[in-house]
Amino acid sequence: MPSALRRNLHNRFTAWALRGRPPEPVPVVLSQRRVYVLPSRAGLLYAVSLLVMLIGAINYNLSLGYGLVFLLAGLGVVTILHSFRNQAGLAITVGAALPVFAGDTARFPLILHNPDARPRHLLRLFLPGQPAMTVTVPPHGSARVLLPLPARERGWLAMPRVTIETVWPLGLIRAWSYAAPALACLVYPRPADAVPPAPTFDDLQGGRLPSDTGDEDFAGLKRHQPSDPPHHVAWKAVARQGPRAPLQTKQFAGTAAQALVLDWAALPHDMDVETRLAVLTRWVQDTEAAGLSWGLRLPGREISQAHGPDHAHNCLKSLALHEG
């Protein structure tokens, strides 16, 4: 069978097996109608061996041969039931997929809930073309698994259908089902390796920002960075808290902090959209690492000055979802 035809038939079967259009609302329950069973390769070899043994028993009229064949055949039938029950009835919910940068690996958290008093052994979960993750779900418990998927482009990365399969207990029968719970991961633009200096801050060189934000009015304390000037370290605070206290650096509100805006329009006009986003992403990382208050200006949107992880996430999200 040609590969294109095989792929088309597989896609049609997958769409039918999902019992609905993806993405599915959570929780996704693997009902009996969604679990499918077929012999594995070991199961096919097992069936052929039983057939050969049956022919030998008939040929030589061996009563013990009949008994052995029927006993092993019954074991195979029981294996079908156990493989099916090992998966049927599971409920799938999702966690929060942490943002990643383009070129990294996104990880989609799935949580398997077992409503029964028996454990679910050796379940394998995988996304198309990705390695499988194996998990056992305890009785009346849950198990969490992270499914990897390469994040090649910025923006929202929706999780494709996930395959859940098991060959427990004897490896003779493969039971599997498909699920496509609603889950997406935000992919930031990949930071540029070499960036021009930010035009709104004269002392920025090579994408690195100085730690001093001015020297006019005291604005508070921040975690000490190795590049901070020694005379800005809050030595009195260290003396009060003891020798084991972490170093802190004084922040001053000056004109430099007020002028620190990462501006899309300040980049060279001949620079393409994706390169601009990569440069701005690097600026966001470096500026945030320096502990400064900064803002971001994009075409049609401006984010006011702030600092901290939430501010950096909002700016990186705007860069990831920018439509150029």
CATH number, domain with residue 25: 2.60.40.10
Compute the distance between CA of residue 35 and CA of residue 270 in angstroms, rounded to an integer: 55
Query: How many of the other CB atoms lie within 10 Å of CB of 93?
Result: 16
Q: Let me know if residue 13 belongs to a domain.
A: yes
Instruction: Give me 203's structure tokens.
Output: 């002392």
pLDDT at 236: 58
Does a structural domain hold residue 209?
Answer: no
Last-in-domain residue among 168, 188, 208: 188
User: How far out from the chain centre does Cα 284 lie?
Assistant: 23
pLDDT of residue 253: 54
Instruction: Say yes or no: 170 and 233 in one domain.
Output: no
| In a shared domain, residues 31 and 91 | yes
**Residue 4, pLDDT score:** 72
Task: Indicate whether 226 and 142 sit together in one domain.
Answer: no
CA distance 292 to 194: 21
Q: Do 130 and 22 reside in the same domain of the chain?
A: yes
How high is the pLDDT of residue 266? Answer: 85
Structural domain of residue 52, as residue ranges? 3-188
- pLDDT in the model for residue 294: 87
Domains in the chain, number: 2
Please indicate, yes or no, if residue 282 is contained in any of the structural domains: yes
pLDDT at residue 224, as a whole number: 63
Q: Please name which of 187, 195, 192, 199 lies closest in space to residue 322, comparing C-alpha atoms.
A: 187
- Distance, in Å, from the CA atom of 212 to the CA atom of 260, rounded to the nearest integer, reads 12
Instruction: Give yes or no: residues 13 and 86 share one domain.
Output: yes
- AA letter at 198: A
Q: Which of 103, 151, 100, 153 is nearest to 130 (CA)?
A: 151
Q: Indicate whether 201 belongs to any domain.
A: no
131-170 burial by CB neighbour count: b if 16+ within 10 A, else e? eebebebeeeeebebebebebeebbebebbbbbbbbbbeb
Residues 65 and 148 in one domain: yes
- 80-89 b/e with 16+ CB inside 10 Å = b? bebbbebbbb
The SS3 call for residue 161 is coil
Q: What residues contact 101, with CB distance under 8 A and at least 6 apart?
A: 151, 187, 188, 189, 190, 191, 281
- Residues lower than pLDDT 50 in the chain: 199-216, 218, 220, 240, 254-258
Q: Specify whether 115 is located in the same domain as 245.
A: no
In a domain, 206, yes or no: no
22 and 81 both lie in a single domain: yes
Instruction: Judge whether 200 lies within some domain.
Output: no
Q: Do 113 and 16 sit in the same domain of this protein?
A: yes
Statement to judge: residues 229 and 271 lie in one domain:
yes
Same-domain check for residues 135 and 47: yes
Question: Does residue 237 lie in a domain region?
Answer: yes
For residue 199, the model assigns a pLDDT of 45
The whole-number pLDDT of residue 10 equals 66
Please check whether residues 252 and 178 belong to one and the same domain. no
142-162 per-position pLDDT tens digit: 999 999 999 999 999 999 999
Q: Between vectors from CA 123 to CA 120 and to CA 126, what angle results, nearest 5°? A: 150
The reply to whether 154 falls in a domain is yes
